[in-house]
Chain A
Amino acid sequence: MSLDARVVCSRGSLEVDVALAAEPGEVIAILGPNGAGKSTILRCLAGLLPLEDGHVQLDNVDLDRPTADVFVRPEHRSIGFVFQNYLLFPSMTALENVAFGLRARGMSARQARSQAAAWIERVGLTDHAAHLPSALSGGQAQRIALARAMATEPRLLLLDEPLAALDAGTRSEVRRELQHHLRTFHGVRILVTHDPLDAYALADRVVVLQAGKVVQQGTLTDVTARPKSRYVADLVGVNLVKGTASFGVLTTPSGATVQTSDDVNGAAFALIQPRSIALYRSPPDGSPRNVWATTVTDIDPRSHRVRLDGPIPLIAEVTVAALDALALQAGDQLWASVKASEITIYPA
């Protein structure tokens, strides 16, 4: 089962134009900040929002193609949707919720309920089958929502921030379970998240979305190793500088330069690990070819990170001892230096 889509639609002031393809058996995570358009894409794939252009094709069947005037309504698509706030029908028990999709598609009540019971057992909530959603905890509701979406055995499973509504403790436990259930599911699985841990645990491929456009794609390792967006860089906690490179020297739009040891030309990113940055009270006289005059703007004692303002805004990480020794305060003038060999540069 495969998905081939190009989602073009606008929501308010946001214009989304994303090409998405999923191979059989692939789990894709759409990663991005709030307002990037992640949920919009899911709604378009589900048919809750019609496309303005582009197409959605599942197993080589067109579900939505505006140019050919093709639009298949959500109720006629083989999809399962797990909503961010689960949307379990409040006046139905957990069992009736899970059975809903089956009965809606014509199955007899008895058969639907027995199948639903099997699904509920699979998610380990048989004791709660007769409970109303208001009597379920967050984690339990999430599992029922998942069972409900999977019960109809859809060919496309969409999960919108499935763990966002859970507290941190429950989240990791539920993530493990979700991982297990997703692995047993046969079909295209697309999940939307802003938590890279989810992407790491659940997805094979990550699509990074920013302002309605894809800025990067690949496995999570690849994406985090070479982030091409501020969002991922912040997520991972590294410094990312964007500019034009010429024989390994990156020039930012504001004119600052970053010396690297790789021979890269054209539009490029330079990645500087915070722990690679050395801080000096007086201009250092040594081998590092990158030295910038900076001002301390913020110090986070918990993570030993210092925020620096200068030709290139940086976040440096120093040891506790070093912090004490330097007796840093906001407003201090410091010199930051990085060895060229410790900077990773790659094309944009």
Chain B
Amino acid sequence: MPRQNRWRRPISQRPPWPAVVIAAVGIAFFALAFMGLLWKVPWASAWHVLSAAGSRKALRLSLVCSVWATVLAMFFGVPIAWLLARLDFPGRGIARALCTLSMVLPPVVAGIALFYALGRRGILGQYLDRWFGITLPFTTAGVVVAQTFVAMPFLILTVEAAFRQQDLQYEDAARTLGASRWYLFRRVTLPAIRPGLIAGGVLAWARALGEFGATITFAGNFPGRTQTMPLAIYLAAETNPEEALVLSLVLVAVSFGVLVALRDRYLQSRSTPAL
């Protein structure tokens, strides 16, 4: 496309300067916080901290649990989102509120709630313990449960919006071609909501990774089993701020890396809408 004469460039192509200024301030706000970390990091002792077994255990546990939590959030969240988007049933508003409540509450409250539901003397937990010998507190599974509980709403909201935006005519077309409902869901619906699914998955993963309040309340704190990075950082912050700083930077770096890798193109649908 030929480069236009500067004087003649239409006003509509230039971004409005108030928006640019406000956005720049906002971006600087974020950048400043992370630059503060980078500035204060004791690079000399950083390696020593990182190679400590506790740090590696915490990081590994964080990554494993957050991925599991994301998978569970998707497994339960996609059907919930589908029902909320497609089916008009009585009490739908309440169902949606329930499923997104944990997003609004302070995480500690979520942890307490899980405690009294699934703890050894909890409503359901007591039967799990008595009949099956399953206990969730103090276990890695408990960490995953706590993370899933707080992360799922992010996925549900994003995916529900994607389902609502979907053009249902394509499903008609697929049905006339002989697609069963499951085949249709797999090959037409899921690809159509892919950007929303990915965005929702990333949000849920990020939330799970940073989860602290519910984890420490429900799952407790034990290195290698339930001590995730946020817990390790919190403990270190009291007694060894340097260690806390290094661990914080690691968490920031990992999260930043994943988010950057999730480039624009994965968040856009594969095609432009036909016709």
Contact = CB atoms under 8 A, between A and B. Distances in A.
Interface in A8-67: 46-48
Interface in A55-110: 73-77, 79-81, 83, 85-92, 100-101, 104-105
A100 B172 contact: no
A80 B178 CA distance: 9
Interface string B22-46: 0000000000000000000000000
A91 B176 CA distance: 18
Contacts of B177: 75, 80-81, 100-101, 104, 148-149, 152
Interface residues of A, number: 33
A105 B178 contact: yes
A91 B177 CA distance: 17
Contacts of B272: 90, 134
Given A75-B178, A101-B178, A87 B173 contact: yes
Given A87-B170, A104-B183, A48 B274 contact: no
B223 to A, nearest CB: 45
Contacts of B172: 48, 74, 83, 87
Nearest to A145: B173
B174 to A, nearest CB: 7
A165 interface: yes
B274 A79 contact: no
Nearest to A43: B172
A141 interface: yes
Which of B172, B188, B194, B274 counts the most chain A CB atoms within 10 A? B274
Which of A75, A83, A132, A165 counts the most chain B CB atoms within 10 A? A75
Contacts of B93: none
Contact of B271 (A48, A81, A83, A133): A133
A260 to B, nearest CB: 49
A73 B271 contact: no
Nearest to B270: A91
B269 interface: yes
A92 B192 CA distance: 11
B187 interface: yes
A134 B274 contact: yes
B192 A91 contact: yes
Given A90-B269, A100-B179, A152-B178, A81 B192 contact: no
B175 A74 contact: yes
A138 interface: yes
Given A91-B192, A91-B269, A104-B183, A86 B176 contact: no
Which of A83, A87, A133, A148 counts the most chain B CB atoms within 10 A? A87
A319 to B, nearest CB: 44
Which of B173, B181, B187 counts the most chain A CB atoms within 10 A? B173
A83 B274 contact: no
Contacts of A46: 176
Contacts of A83: 169, 172-173
Which of A80, A91, A132 counts the most chain B CB atoms within 10 A? A91
A235 B272 CA distance: 37
A241 to B, nearest CB: 42
B275 A74 contact: no
Nearest to B173: A87
Contact of A81 (B170, B173, B194): B173
B179 A75 contact: yes
B275 A100 contact: no
B187 A100 contact: yes
Nearest to B177: A101
Interface string B257-275: 0000000000001111111
Interface in B146-170: 169-170
B268 to A, nearest CB: 11
B133 interface: no
A47 B194 CA distance: 28
A182 B193 CA distance: 36
A48 B168 CA distance: 12
Interface string A267-307: 00000000000000000000000000000000000000000
Contacts of A76: 178
A81 B274 contact: no
B273 A48 contact: no
Given A90-B274, A91-B271, A48 B179 contact: no
A328 to B, nearest CB: 44
Contacts of B188: 89
Given A91-B194, A104-B179, 6 more contacts: A81-B173, A86-B274, A133-B274, A134-B271, A134-B273, A149-B177
Nearest 8 pairs of A and B residues by beta carbon: A101-B177, A81-B176, A90-B271, A87-B173, A104-B179, A133-B274, A74-B175, A91-B270
15 contacts: A46-B176, A74-B176, A75-B178, A75-B179, A75-B184, A80-B177, A83-B169, A85-B275, A89-B173, A89-B191, A91-B270, A92-B191, A104-B187, A105-B178, A165-B275
Interface of B: 169-170, 172-181, 183-184, 187-188, 191-192, 194, 269-275
